[in-house]
Homo-oligomer: A and B are copies of this chain.
Amino acid sequence: MNETIINILEKPELDNPIFIEALPGIGHVGKLVADHIIEELNGTKWVEIYCPEFPPQVLVNEDGVIEPMINELYYLKDVGESKQDYIFLVGNTQALSPEGQYGLCSQILDLVEDYNISKIFTLGGLATGQPVESAKVFGSVTDIELIDELKDIGVTIRSADGGIIGASGLLLGLGKLRGIDGVCLMGETPGYFIDAEAAEALLLILLKLTDLVVDIEKLEERAEETRKMITKAQQMEQEMMQRTNMSPAEDDLRYIG
């Protein structure tokens, strides 16, 4: 496996779909939203992606069964009154290296661009590092024309306060170069736990911006499950790294000139 493997399980007929990215990131905000929508609306998985730039590991699920690192595309067809189609990019990881990120995001855009996607939404969290009373939703756009619609529904424009790192930023940037409109929506979150409240705020905004209709009742419940699993996993990993006697990999030697 020296190259990215893209398994296309099905070739759906989609009409100018909206493309929504929600890979793992800060507070798992975006991932919670997208996983919830896909489950509530019975999204159909049609692409599996395995990339040699993903972390070289597997995850273990609650049954003790291992899961390869993966990105997946789901679709929803004829949603709401406008019969809008959607493609979702979800998964359990992102590529690690810059060239891995650029390469994979480009390949995914190649794939979905064949369907004439009308717009990209990337979903994430914006970490404040402090307790958040009532989670705001921040937005950045690829074109200034897209700002007003966001403001009208209560999105706070995030401007000049740093970059958007990873697929949520890169898909918009590469999409912009291809002339595709894009919006990044970020739920405000302390950032150090799985944040269902930020996800709820983000979901409500996304529903206003689209024709998606989703029950939010089970969102907190799902967040709770994710929370248990991920937090425990992270504790374990940190302990392992700090206490193991396997010395950290010694690549990247620095020599004095």
Given contacts A245-B27, A247-B234, contact A92 B257 (CB under 8 A): yes
Instruction: Annotate A35-74 by CB proximity to B: 1 below 8 A, 0 otherwise.
Output: 0000000000000001011111111111111111100000
- The smallest C-beta distance from A21 to any residue of chain B, in angstroms, reads 13
Determine whether A230 belongs to the interface, using a CB cutoff of 8 Å to chain B. Answer: yes
Stretch at the interface among A12-20, A75-83, A172-180, A203-211: A172-180
Given contacts A53-B99, A232-B160, contact A254 B243 (CB under 8 A): no
Given contacts A161-B232, A169-B57, contact A66 B141 (CB under 8 A): yes
A62 to B248, CA, bound (A): 23
- The smallest C-beta distance from A195 to any residue of chain B, in angstroms, reads 9
Are the CB atoms of B248 and A230 closer together than 8 Å? no
Which one of A26, A56, A158, A249 has the greatest number of beta carbons of chain B within 10 Å?
A56
Are the CB atoms of B246 and A26 closer together than 8 Å? yes
Please indicate the chain B residues that have their CB under 8 angstroms from the CB of A162 in the complex.
Answer: 59-60, 232-234, 236-237, 240
Determine whether A242 belongs to the interface, using a CB cutoff of 8 Å to chain B. Answer: yes
Q: A residues engaging B (CB < 8 A)?
A: 1-2, 23-28, 50, 52-69, 92-103, 105-106, 125-129, 139-144, 147, 157-167, 169-170, 172-174, 176-177, 182, 184, 190-194, 228-234, 236-257
Are the CB atoms of A238 and B247 closer together than 8 Å? yes
Are the CB atoms of A159 and B60 closer together than 8 Å? yes
Given contacts A252-B252, A253-B96, contact A65 B141 (CB under 8 A): yes
Q: Among the listed B24, B67, B147, B243, which residue makes an inter-chain contact with A192, where contact means beta carbons less than 8 Å apart?
A: B243
Q: Among the listed B127, B141, B248, which residue makes an inter-chain contact with A252, where contact means beta carbons less than 8 Å apart?
A: B248
A158 to B139, CA, bound (A): 40
CB-based closest 8 A-B pairs: A56-B101, A52-B102, A129-B243, A68-B173, A191-B244, A249-B251, A162-B233, A64-B157
Please indicate the chain B residues that have their CB under 8 angstroms from the CB of A24 in the complex.
Answer: 246, 255-257
Q: Among the listed B58, B125, B194, which residue makes an inter-chain contact with A163, where contact means beta carbons less than 8 Å apart?
A: B58
Please indicate the chain B residues that have their CB under 8 angstroms from the CB of A194 in the complex.
Answer: 245
Are the CB atoms of B254 and A251 closer together than 8 Å? no
